[in-house]
Amino acid sequence: MAEPVRAAVVDDEPLAREGIRLLLGRDPEVTVVGEAGNASEALALLRTVRPQLVFLDVQMPGGDGFEVLSRAQRPLPLVVFVTAFDSHALQAFDVHALDYVLKPFDDERFTQAVERAKQELRREAAAEIGERMLQGVQALERTRVVVRDRGRVTFLDEDEIDWIEAADYYVELHVGARTYLHRESMAALEARLDTRRFVRIHRKAIVNIRCLREVRRDAGGGLVAVLSSGVSLPVARSHQAQVRRLS
């Protein structure tokens, strides 16, 4: 992990806290950021230090470990219960504790609990990074079109696109002399495009208004949109009024 896991120790027995501190001190991926000996101290510690992981005794003065968790601010850290009482194990997992270590424990059992905690925090970090990346891509997709093709991802600014042509379950994005095949329906893409920049002229064509050079009648009396690239596209009768409003 990039930075050490920030851990706290809560136990009413000073020797127990010292033992856990020593064991954690052997792991360079963990740093102890605080300790507490009763419920009120534990609540203050969780509020001010905000550890990622807490080793928590069940029975202590001022309230048990479960009361501490019920009164603590959210989100809670990962919790490893360390206690001499096995009767609370089911309740511990009811509150989604990561582990339940019975005293007296050996070094191996404690190390297993620490490794589980580190793995869980790595998963959480990876999920958080993945979520941030997804949000970033989604934000880009609101202003750009993200084209994925054979392992390559191309980000097209909306205004780069001259016109869009429907092609079954895909659309063809015409960008200057290049054409990109993009897997998205015409309706879905149209819903994301800036209506101040694009106009639908046919069920199979959307045009960037920037590229629209002229609208004229063809020999049959229908409307034709002529783009600055020289491409001529028919304007469907159902879209003619919308196109005329652009002039």
96 Cβ contact list (under 8 Å, min separation 6)? 79
Q: For residue 137, with 0-12 CB atoms within 10 Å meaning exposed, 13-18 middle and 19 or more buried, which class applies?
A: middle
Angle at which helices 14-25 and 107-143 pack, to 10 degrees? Answer: 60
- Given a contact cutoff of 8 angstroms between Cβ atoms, the answer to whether 31 and 7 are in contact is yes
Long-range contacts of 136-145 (CB under 8 A, 24+ apart): 141/192, 142/192, 145/173, 145/182, 145/189
Q: Looking at 78-185, list the stretches that DSSP marks H as alpha helix, in order from N- to C-terminal side.
A: 89-94, 107-143
State which H helix or E strand residue 222 sits in: none
Domain 150-244, CATH 2.60.40.10 — does that match? Answer: no
Alpha-carbon distance of 138 to 144, in angstroms, equals 9
State which H helix or E strand residue 246 sits in: none
Pairing of strands 178-182, 170-175: antiparallel
For the stretch 94-109, pLDDT in tens is: 667 888 888 888 999 9
Alpha-carbon distance of 9 to 33, in angstroms, equals 9
| Beta-sheet strands, E only, within 37-97 | 53-56, 78-83
What tokens appear for 229 in the block? 């690239």
For the stretch 26-35, pLDDT in tens is: 999 999 999 9
> What average pLDDT does the chain have?
86
Q: Which CATH superfamily is domain 5-136 in?
A: Response regulator (3.40.50.2300)
Domain boundaries, the chain: 5-136, 150-244
For the stretch 83-92, pLDDT in tens is: 887 766 666 6
- Given a contact cutoff of 8 angstroms between Cβ atoms, the answer to whether 232 and 225 are in contact is yes
pTM (2 d.p.): 0.54
pLDDT at 134: 60
Alpha-carbon distance of 77 to 93, in angstroms, equals 14
For the stretch 135-194, pLDDT in tens is: 655 555 556 788 887 667 788 888 899 999 998 889 999 999 999 999 888 998 898 888
